[in-house]
Structure 1
């Protein structure tokens, strides 16, 4: 028997919804595969209805029936920070820890040292930087995530935030709900996206999905990545490749960020880099909050160097109530919700169960799900997180 510790965000403040009467829709679209041909998660079964709220504590990712029927113990918590948190108490004898990027259970080296039974840490979603990967390697702990499960949800959110910033939607909506009708005030910062130079920092699954969704807007697309995309892909979307982000940001009006958080990307969007961008540029960051220098972003907005900043990610998470990104001018921040739409939850819940089924049966995990295994970077992790990785294929 294994102890599975599941860390999820709290239920809605008005209580957990009943399906389907408390939901906006009765169904979600049925999909068969991802755009690159990768199959969707293929667990042996699921014990939930796609479209349910699975990512909060009462949703339990639809795992309880499966795990308890197999003789495992499931502990579901949301308290993960502070002195003597539920997470700190429960992790000491947990065999499996599962959390989401939106409500990350930070597995620091100190916590990993205390978790003597821990064999695998699973991210229900994409992005495993809340796990200290070096410590996981040192202790032989497998780290896995449900790669691609919410990539397209994040890409859609990114496009939405680009448009929200450029068209200055937040101000226009506020005028409407407050009873006003001053059109001059509503449009004095509103521009068309058409014709702008848009840069993509990291052209992996999410970055490429953003490219493909923005191309019909008539923009000029630029990108940088550790691995250059195939020539036919660049030609199809008329992409301009830049060797590094320093060259990229000098030539664009809008920057979207899709890189993982690593030693190389932490704090990369600092005051020096922002000063080289065109005055009035926009940044949309759905990747990780710590890629941006918090205070440098605020200063750039206050000075007008940046015309707007939208992000779905913060450092730390959840962000404190007085985090300056909540009140800085011309922001369109959201609370890391891009990848946890109800359809995305169905995909990453199914993928989490697939990983558990393979893990408990001793079967190899899909390479695309692996970040580290056996003390080394593996699969997707070898591409996205390792400092020196051979480009087997773009992720």
Structure 2
């Protein structure tokens, strides 16, 4: 199928350079405003496009896939995570799904370290004090935070991002611990100076900082539930840049309010952009608007991967970033 003839619908605004290149290569319908498509708009797009370029804000479940047209053969996801797409049902209907892995690794790892520093050094509180009229100047006991050198960092999920976090943490003098579905190869453990824990319960009870870097799957939903959160030390900090559903947000909020966990740095939330109001009120929680991968360079690289996947598919070949259910 010649690329110029392929009908491509893009569900969100993308960087201008990416949209321009898509327009040059394919018969593309771009989005004018940057709001998520409604279910009906998605169904309409899937009913007439050969390729749908979607994002994490587009929930494509079995019901919606049932309304797809026969011509829809590729869902090219702009992003690495595909938990918003029913990949198994798509495959059953002959629809391929691709993603953009590896692009956001370094950017997300940077945000993890930024959140660790921000929470342990009370940066959000410091900003509020400095911007208020009540700051009386420097004092020996004012705004005391904690030093991260020598602290134990537990990484939940040691994939690309987890390993990038480990490299940064090692440079800061932190002790790296991790839990993963599969243990890393010995040479990688040695490079990262990382200690493996087969038991997640045992690890979370011993670390000073816990970084969530695993994807959202049925097996990781509320992996950090109330019971497991209670295993953490009272002076521990939890950071999540992965998926909000991995943590029981209500339980975390209660424990932060009660001082049973010292602090949290969250870039993702269990209900998307609907953040628990009680969580917003907490001085020991730093909240970011899902900006872990938000660099211009990263977004352009994601777009380039989307284009390569579509172009390869249009030329009759397997997209290089094809997602299959066994990967999930």
Tell me if TM exceeds 0.5: yes
CA distance 1:71–1:348, change in 2 (3 Å): closer
Please say if residues 125 and 283 of structure 2, whose CA atoms lie closer than 8 Å, have aligned partners that are also in contact.
no
Q: Give the TM-score normalised by structure 1.
A: 0.75
Name 2:216's counterpart in structure 1.
261
**TM-score computed with the length of structure 2 as normaliser:** 0.90
- Give the match for residue 62 of structure 1: 18
Could you tell me how far 1:292 is from its partner in structure 2?
A: 0.9
- Quote the Cα distance in structure 2 between the aligned partners of 1:344 and 1:71: 22
Once residues 176 and 281 of structure 2 are traced to their aligned partners in structure 1, the CA distance between those partners, rounded to angstroms, is 31
Query: Counterpart of 1:108?
Result: 61
Aligned match of 1:340: 294
Q: CA deviation at 1:236?
A: 3.1
* Partner residue in 2 for 1:174: 128
Gap change, CA 1:353 and 1:288, over 3 Å in 2: same
CA distance in 2, matches of 1:302, 1:220: 28
| Deviation beyond 6 Å, 4+ runs, structure 1 | none
Bigger mean CA offset, 70-79 vs 197-206: 70-79
Structure 1 residues 245 and 185 mapped into 2: Cα distance closer, same or farther (>3 Å)?
A: farther
User: What is the aligned partner in structure 1 of residue 36 from structure 2?
Assistant: 80
User: Take 1:164 and 1:186, find their aligned partners in 2: how far apart are those partners?
Assistant: 18
Indicate if the aligned counterparts of 2:209 and 2:236 stay in contact, CA closer than 8 A.
yes
Contact 1:80-1:87 within 8 A present in 2 as well: no
Gaps of 5+ in 2: none
Q: Match for residue 235 of structure 1?
A: 190
Q: Which residue of 2 aligns with 1:371?
A: 323
Q: In the alignment, which residue of structure 1 is the partner of 2:243? A: 288
8 A Cα contact 2:99 2:322, kept in partner: yes
Spell out, residue by residue over 1:51-84, the C-alpha distance to the aligned partner (whole angstroms, 9 max, x if none): xxx44xxx3x6234544x4452323264436564
Paired residues of 2:115 and 2:239 also in contact (CA < 8 A): yes
Q: 1:356 to 1:185 in 2, by over 3 A?
A: farther
5+ residue gaps, structure 1, are 10-53, 386-395
Equivalenced residue count is 321
Q: CA RMSD in A?
A: 2.2
Q: Is the 8 A contact 1:5 1:94 kept in 2?
A: yes
- Are the aligned partners of 2:43 and 2:68 in contact in 1 as well (CA < 8 Å)? no
What corresponds to 2:312 in structure 1? 358
Q: Please identify, of 201-210 and 174-183, the stretch whose mean Cα deviation from structure 2 is larger.
A: 174-183
Displacement of 1:250: 1.0
The alpha-carbon deviation at position 220 of structure 1 amounts to 1.4
The C-alpha deviation readout for 1:192-222, integer Å capped at 9, x for no partner, is 1111111001111000000000102221110
CA distance in structure 2 between the partners assigned to 1:340 and 1:329 by the alignment? 24
1:8 maps to what in 2? 12
Query: Which of 93, 97, 116 does residue 143 from structure 1 map onto?
Result: 97
C-alpha contact 1:260 1:287 (8 A) present in aligned 2 = yes
CA distance in 2, matches of 1:335, 1:114: 32
